[in-house]
């Protein structure tokens, strides 16, 4: 994703992904290629940020048009915005910020939730035990979320809206309990997740960085517990096939990669960044070429 600096001029819109770590992020590659393909005058950069509040104090003078927000800043980013979309407010986390050019005000959104939930619903439609034909295939199922950070909140909130029952499993039990109380669900420590009584149609969603590059040998739940699930989703997309997904597939379980969530949330951000309809097939093609 080399920027073509000869093409950058005063009208070029500059975007970036605020994250730590950030070098694994495929957003710059994706947006720069798509901007180029649709002749949108914009560039998109990696922004390695330790403290997001400090970032906005220090860099408020810079002329960014918008940002994506990644681990671990999705919750802290809410406080950095002047206005936050009501859905993102109830999730308590954002992954997209638009800066209004007239007065520099920052508007926060959450596009993770839409991308992830539609990818899981799509995955369930093809799986045995697909659920009701009219409502969401998530309705009535036990939806287990591993993690209690910003991405976890978005997923738990989205699944709850679709009628699923929520169980939060986290390394730090107190954070699991707090999130479960917020969205309306139960909590368990991650160490105890393998001991929950199995039931039909359970869904497992990992929202932590366990198994992300370079720690590809790690997994949040041991293989013997995976066979009880109808579908396993991993929010990680680098690598596309995590150890969790590989082992779930070996157990005959339907899997959904974080790449689907990534593509889904990217369509939405692209439309907010550019005001143009997202070329969905192009997003998929670019991501498949780079994964
Ligand atoms: P984000 O907002 O992007 O979701 P976050 O707030 O840093 O990121 O949340 C990361 C989540 O991954 C947390 O639930 C964290 O567990 P703790 O609450 O116990 O810190 C979880 N997590 C990260 N690394 C982990 C690891 N090695 N083992 C278990 N859980 C981990």
Q: Is 75 in the pocket of ligand 1 (CB under 6 A)?
A: yes
Do residues 286 and 30 make contact, with C-beta atoms less than 8 angstroms apart? yes
Please state, in angstroms and rounded to a whole number, the distance separating the CA atoms of residues 136 and 180: 21
CA of 62 to the centre of ligand 1 (A): 31
Q: Is 209 in the pocket of ligand 1 (CB under 6 A)?
A: yes
Grade residue 291 by pLDDT with cuts at 50, 70 and 90: low
Instruction: Average the pLDDT over each of 15-19, 24-28, 93-97, 178-182 and give the range with the smallest value.
Output: 24-28
CA of 151 to the centre of ligand 1 (A): 10
Q: Mean pLDDT score of the chain, rounded to an integer?
A: 91
Please state, in angstroms and rounded to a whole number, the distance separating the CA atoms of residues 241 and 275: 33
First and final C-alpha spacing in the chain = 14
Residue of 13, 26, 74, 153 with catalytic role = 74
Q: Is 110 in the pocket of ligand 1 (CB under 6 A)?
A: no
Indicate the class that CATH gives domain 113-256: alpha beta
Tell me whether residue 74 is one of the annotated catalytic residues.
yes
What does the domain layout of the chain look like in residue ranges? 5-110+261-290, 113-256
Q: Is 99 in the pocket of ligand 1 (CB under 6 A)?
A: no
Is there a common fold for 5-110+261-290 and 113-256? Answer: yes
pLDDT digits (tens, 9 = 90+) for 6-45: 578 889 999 999 999 998 888 999 999 999 999 999 999 9
Q: Both tokens of residue 34?
A: 């798509």
Q: Is 206 in the pocket of ligand 1 (CB under 6 A)?
A: no
pLDDT digits (tens, 9 = 90+) for 129-170: 555 556 899 999 999 999 998 889 999 999 999 999 999 999
Q: Which residue owns the Cα nearest ligand 1 atom 3?
A: 71
Grade residue 128 by pLDDT with cuts at 50, 70 and 90: low
Grade residue 4 by pLDDT with cuts at 50, 70 and 90: low
Alpha helices in 10-105 (DSSP H): 27-37, 52-58, 76-80, 86-91
Q: Which residue owns the Cα nearest ligand 1 atom 18?
A: 172
Do residues 71 and 22 make contact, with C-beta atoms less than 8 angstroms apart? no
Q: Mutation test of ligand 1: which of 19, 95, 170 has the most ligand atoms closer than 8 Å to its C-beta?
A: 170
Q: Give the pLDDT score at 206.
A: 98
What burial class does residue 213 get, using C-beta atoms within 10 Å of its C-beta: 0-12 exposed, 13-18 middle, 19+ buried?
Answer: middle
Q: Is 60 exceeded by the pLDDT of residue 2?
A: no
DSSP 3-state of 160: helix
Q: Is 60 exceeded by the pLDDT of residue 111?
A: yes
Indicate the class that CATH gives domain 5-110+261-290: alpha beta
CA of 85 to the centre of ligand 1 (A): 24
Q: Is 167 in the pocket of ligand 1 (CB under 6 A)?
A: no
Residue 186 Cα distances to 136, 142, 145, 210, angstroms = 21, 10, 10, 22
Q: Is 21 in the pocket of ligand 1 (CB under 6 A)?
A: no
The mean per-residue pLDDT over the stretch 109-137 comes to: 80
Please state, in angstroms and rounded to a whole number, the distance separating the CA atoms of residues 74 and 61: 22
Strand partners, 169: 146, 188
pLDDT digits (tens, 9 = 90+) for 190-245: 999 999 999 999 999 999 999 999 999 999 999 999 999 999 999 998 898 999 99
Residues making up the chain, counted from first to last: 291
Q: ipTM above 0.90?
A: yes
Q: Is 80 exceeded by the pLDDT of residue 60?
A: no
Q: Give the pLDDT score at 3.
A: 59
């Amino acid at each position: 994703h080399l920027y073509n600096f000869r093409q950058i001029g005063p009208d070029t819109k500059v975007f970036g992904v605020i994250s730590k770590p950030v070098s694994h992020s495929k957003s710059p590659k994706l947006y720069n290629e798509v901007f180029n393909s649709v002749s949108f005058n914009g560039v998109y950069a990696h922004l390695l940020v330790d403290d997001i509040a400090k970032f906005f104090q220090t860099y408020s003078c810079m002329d960014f048009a918008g940002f994506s927000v990644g681990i671990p800043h999705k919750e802290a980013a809410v406080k950095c915005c002047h206005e936050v979309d009501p859905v993102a407010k109830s999730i308590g986390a954002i992954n997209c910020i638009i800066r209004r050019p007239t007065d520099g005000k920052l508007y926060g959104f959450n596009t993770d939730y839409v991308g992830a939930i539609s990818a899981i619903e799509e995955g369930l439609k093809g799986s045995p035990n697909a659920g009701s034909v009219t409502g969401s295939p998530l309705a009535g199922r036990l939806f287990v979320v591993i993690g209690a950070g910003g991405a976890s909140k978005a997923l738990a909130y989205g699944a709850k809206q679709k009628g699923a029952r929520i169980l939060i499993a986290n390394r730090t039990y107190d954070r699991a309990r707090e999130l479960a109380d917020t969205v309306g669900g139960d909590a368990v420590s991650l160490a105890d997740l393998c001991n929950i009584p199995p039931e039909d149609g359970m869904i497992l969603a990992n929202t932590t960085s366990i198994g992300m590059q370079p720690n590809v040998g790690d997994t949040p739940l041991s293989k013997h517990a995976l066979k009880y699930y109808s579908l396993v989703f991993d929010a990680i997309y680098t690598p596309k096939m995590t150890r969790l997904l590989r082992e779930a597939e070996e157990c005959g379980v339907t899997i959904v990669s974080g790449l689907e969530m990534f593509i889904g949330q990217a369509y939405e951000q692209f439309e907010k960044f550019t005001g143009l309809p997202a070329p969905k097939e192009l997003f998929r093609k670019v991501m498949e070429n780079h994964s």
